[in-house]
């Protein structure tokens, strides 16, 4: 089995939705906001990140065609199909690690006790949730609310789909 836990990504702005999904899975993922492809490529090289893009020009660069830099050309314009392609192409494990990385700014999250978040989360959340994490940069507090559940159930579906493909021997 391939060691995939050390994979890191840089997501082009034409496939920006992938950043949150990958962070949800616990992957260190940069979102490239600029328009200068060369900068994205050099960051990817420096930090050993896989490029995810819909830009065919990037795929033609020598650094990519020679295999020095890994880039994946995303085929679909639908975020869910894009995510499915990344999972399949890289054979990613859908055992995601929620609460590892801030979905907004890609920082490792820190555990917080219930007492520490009192007054910072809605009262009904405080009453029903016991586990919290906080981003040290943007100070967002995360808990297992409905948004989180929606995202994780989608990720689980990706995993089930992948297993089905595997057992059919198609890949
Ligand atoms: Zn943050």
- The Å distance, Cα 135 to ligand 1 centre, comes to 5
Rounded to two decimals, what is the model's pTM? 0.83
- The Å distance, Cα 25 to ligand 1 centre, comes to 15
Predicted confidence band of residue 4 (pLDDT cuts 50, 70, 90): very low
Spatial distance between the Cα atoms of 135 and 133, rounded to a whole number of angstroms: 7
121 contacts 133 by C-beta, under 8 angstroms: no
- The Å distance, Cα 13 to ligand 1 centre, comes to 19
- The Å distance, Cα 142 to ligand 1 centre, comes to 10
Locate tokens 């990519």: which residue? 64
- The Å distance, Cα 159 to ligand 1 centre, comes to 26
How does pLDDT run across 143-167, given as a tens digit for each residue?
988 777 888 888 878 777 666 665 5
Q: Is the pLDDT of residue 3 over 80?
A: no
How does pLDDT run across 73-130, given as a tens digit for each residue?
999 999 889 999 999 999 887 666 778 899 999 999 999 999 999 999 999 999 999 9
């Amino acid at each position: 089995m391939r060691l995939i836990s050390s994979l890191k990504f840089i997501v082009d702005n034409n496939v920006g939705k992938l950043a949150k999904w990958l962070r949800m899975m616990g992957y260190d993922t940069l979102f490239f906001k600029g328009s200068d492809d060369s900068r994205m490529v050099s960051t990817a090289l420096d930090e050993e990140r896989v490029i995810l893009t819909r830009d065919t020009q990037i795929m033609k660069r020598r650094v990519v065609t020679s295999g020095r830099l890994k880039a994946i050309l995303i085929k679909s314009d639908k975020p869910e199909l894009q995510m499915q392609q990344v999972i399949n192409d890289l054979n990613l494990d859908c055992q995601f690690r929620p609460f590892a990385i801030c979905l907004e700014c890609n920082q490792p999250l820190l555990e917080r006790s219930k007492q520490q978040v009192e007054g910072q989360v809605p009262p009904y959340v405080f009453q029903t949730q016991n586990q919290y994490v906080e981003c040290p940069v943007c100070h967002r507090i995360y808990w297992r609310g409905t948004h989180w559940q929606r995202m994780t159930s989608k990720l689980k579906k990706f995993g089930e789909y992948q297993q089905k493909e595997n057992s059919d021997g198609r890949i």
